[in-house]
Amino acid sequence: MCIAGKGWEILAYISITVFYVLVKLQIRREVNTGFAPGSYFLTLKSIEVVKKADRKLTFIPVVFILLRIWGTVRFFRLLAHHPDRPPVREWLLILHGVGDSSQGFANFILFCLFTDKIRKKFRLCCIQLLSCFCFQEKEALLESTNLTYGARE
């Protein structure tokens, strides 16, 4: 179980952290060399975009580890099980179940709701849906009270 399941998971924790640090260092290195004398590749707008992406990139390993760590904690608690203590706490089971299944939802939040362009489109779609729904309710209310027919007579 350790080699097949939790071993790969722990290796993922370590590799994600290492890759994250390497990418973050590379981004900082490229941004800092962009300000070298005679270099006109970076504008203020591109620096803002890089900082936003860097902030979002920070959340990826943190969210992944926080969601997935509860199964690993449960596994090590099971290995160190003492007969006097209960083997698994309910809150740990709940966090494990919620964390393992909510990884896709966390990706949706990070990449869709934290992206300005997609957030604006989502807001516009919600406004259109609400206005359409409210318009249909208004028509249904007018028809049920016969206000539309009373105006014609």
Residue 46 has pLDDT above 60, yes or no: yes
pLDDT of residue 53: 78
* Pairwise CA distance, residues 59 & 103, whole Å: 13
The number of angstroms, rounded, from the C-alpha of 90 to the middle of its chain's C-alpha atoms is: 25
Instruction: For residues 56 and 108, give the distance between their C-alpha atoms in angstroms, rounded to a whole number.
Output: 12
pLDDT at residue 16 greater than cutoff 50: yes
Spatial separation of the C-alpha atoms in residues 134 and 150, rounded to whole Å: 22
Structure tokens belonging to residue 35? 């300000």
- Lowest-pLDDT choice from 44-53, 67-76, 114-123: 44-53
Query: Distances from the Cα of 45 to the Cαs of 42, 48, 121, 125, in angstroms?
Result: 8, 5, 22, 28
pLDDT tens digit sequence for 105-151: 888 888 777 777 888 888 888 888 887 777 666 566 556 555 444 44
pLDDT of 85 reads 66
Show me where the domains of the chain are located. 2-103, 115-153
